[in-house]
Amino acid sequence: MKNKSSLRMGILCAGVIAMLFAGIIYAWSILKVPFAEEVGLAAPALALNFTLTMCFFCIGGVVSSFFVKRIGTAMTLVLSGVLAGAGIVLSGMFADSVAALYVFYAFMAGLGIGIAYIVIISTVNAWFPDRRGLSSGALMMGFGASSLLLGNLADRLFATELGWRGTYIAVGIFLGAVILLASLFIRRPPEGFALPAPAARRGGRSEDFTLRDFTPGEMLRRFSFWRAFLYLICITAVGNSVISFCRDLALSVGAEAALASVLVGVLAVCNGLGRILTGALFDAAGRRITMLCANLLTMAAAGLTLVAVVCGSLPLCIVGLCLTGLSYGTSPTVSSAFTSAFYGQKHFAANLGFMNINLMCASFVATACSALIETTGGYTVPFVLLLGLSAVALVLNLSIKRP
């Protein structure tokens, strides 16, 4: 049993490290700076790049199960590592235009990271039927913490002899290498391998439906899926939007440039913390309480940041960004744990790929918020929109029932 436990934890650690590097795409508010200051690309074009990255990230998640079935888990991770690493490297070398940035960063890196994301989560979670929420949370924490660790490291390296191009090339090489190394360790449990069964919850917190494995087609025909899908769009849009303009938001309420960059990292820390806390809460309290807490936290984050913007208060903005990070961290963990709990493990990778398309839809809200900022000259209207979406999410959340 001890050997089995060590094996499971080793695979989880490999997954967390790989996700830490893959999460570099969430550091876009830092990584975009050279393209604005040195290449001269306009803010709307850079905002659209983040949206397109999320779109290809979601597409990568959907097609990942196709590759796993045909070439296996290891080779799919190799493919994703080559795509993601090459995309970042080529962005540093040749992205001197909007079109090149969209091809290399959004398409290649976004697609590669999206494939790796689903493969790692579905494969590692298969080792933790007894702690899927905690396993998902640990993986998501690694993904979310990347902005703090790698994003801020990249920001510092921009000012060194490497420059921004050399930094992009170094980040791409390390990203590809880490995912390739992860492919040597991350495997599904062998057939017949005994794993701990999920513990029965006490206190009547379990859902009142019969568990079974749903195919993607069956899942897509369930109202429970569409309610959860729309709910996730609404709560994800808040964090997704703020991530895309976090640094500029902090500057708008009086933060110094150095502090604004640090706050991007703080948001990332809270993002990672929210992911692992949500996973633990899901295991302990079940789906209903977890999704309700996530929803209320998102409403509080949007509401407080709106007040900070209206009052021009930096302290309130800092608290709002922390809450936003925590609330955004709830979304991917809820998505993973909900999909597994409602629709089973057999088709989990494909089902999660479809559920994660909510990120694509939410990214268009981020683009809309950027357009509103340009049009209105401030952040008030965007945050009114985000607060309204979090209220819509509450209505959808309370209506979710058996699959």
pTM for this model (two decimals)? 0.76
Give the pLDDT band of residue 3 (cuts 50, 70, 90). low
Beta strands in 258-359 (DSSP E): none
pLDDT at 204: 43
Residue-level pLDDT at 51: 83
The DSSP output letter for 271 is H
Residues of the chain above pLDDT 90, percent: 42
Confidence bin at 229 (pLDDT 50/70/90)? very high
Residue 335 has phi, psi (to 5 degrees) of -60, -50
Q: According to the model, what pLDDT value does residue 206 have?
A: 54
The letter for the amino acid at 282 is F
- What separation, in Å, do the N-terminal and C-terminal C-alpha atoms of the chain show? 35
**Three-state DSSP class for residue 278:** helix
**Rounded Cα–Cα distance for residues 73 and 186 (Å):** 8
- Alpha-carbon distance of 326 to 144, in angstroms, equals 10
Task: Indicate the pLDDT class of residue 210, thresholds 50, 70 and 90.
Answer: low
pLDDT at 226: 94
pLDDT of 151 higher than 70: yes
pLDDT tens by residue, 187-209:
888 877 767 766 655 544 556 55
Instruction: Note the pLDDT tens digit of each residue in 41-97.
Output: 888 888 889 889 988 998 998 898 889 989 999 999 999 999 999 999 999 998 888
Q: Is the model's pLDDT at 313 over the cut of 90?
A: yes
List domains and CATH numbers for the chain. 2-188+214-398 (1.20.1250.20)
Work out the average pLDDT over 227-254. Answer: 90
From 310, 305, 299, select the one nearest 263 (Cα to Cα).
Answer: 305
The closest of 394, 288, 368 to 334, measured between CA atoms, is: 288
Mean pLDDT score of the chain, rounded to an integer? 86
Residue whose tokens read 């080793």: 10
Under the banding of pLDDT at 50, 70 and 90, the label for residue 320 is very high
Tens of pLDDT, residues 346-396: 888 888 888 988 888 888 888 888 889 989 989 999 999 999 999 999 999
- pLDDT value for 4: 66
Which is higher by pLDDT, 242 or 141?
242
Q: How far is CA 243 from CA 190, 237, 246, 266, in A?
A: 39, 10, 5, 11
Average pLDDT over residues 152-164: 88
Q: How many CB atoms lie within 10 A of CB 291?
A: 27
Contact predicate 374/43, CB 8 Å = yes
Structure token pair of residue 269: 């820390």
pLDDT per residue over 273-309, tens digit each? 887 788 778 878 888 899 999 999 999 999 999 999 9
Give me 303's structure tokens.
Answer: 């509401």
Alpha-carbon gap, residue 355 to 350, rounded angstroms: 9
- pLDDT mean over 337-343: 85
From 198, 181, 22, 37, select the one nearest 113 (Cα to Cα): 22
Q: Tokens representing 8? A: 């499971």
pLDDT band with cut points at 50, 70 and 90 for residue 266 = confident
pLDDT at residue 244 greater than cutoff 80: no
Q: Give CA–CA dist 365/29, Å, rounded.
A: 16
What's the whole-number mean pLDDT along residues 208-231? 86
**Tokens 């006490």 belong to which residue?**
202
CA 161 to chain centre: 31
Dist. CA 364–CA 198, nearest whole Å: 37
Question: By the 8 A CB rule, do 295 and 233 touch?
Answer: no
pLDDT band at 334 (very low <50, low <70, confident <90, very high): confident
CA 52 vs. chain centroid, Å, equals 14
Residue 124 reports pLDDT greater than 60: yes
Q: Return the structure tokens found at 266.
A: 């703080």
Instruction: Tell whether the model's pLDDT for residue 263 goes beyond 90.
Output: no
What pLDDT sits at residue 30? 82
Q: Dihedral of CA 290/400/349/236: which sign?
A: negative
Cβ neighbours around 51 below 10 Å, total: 20
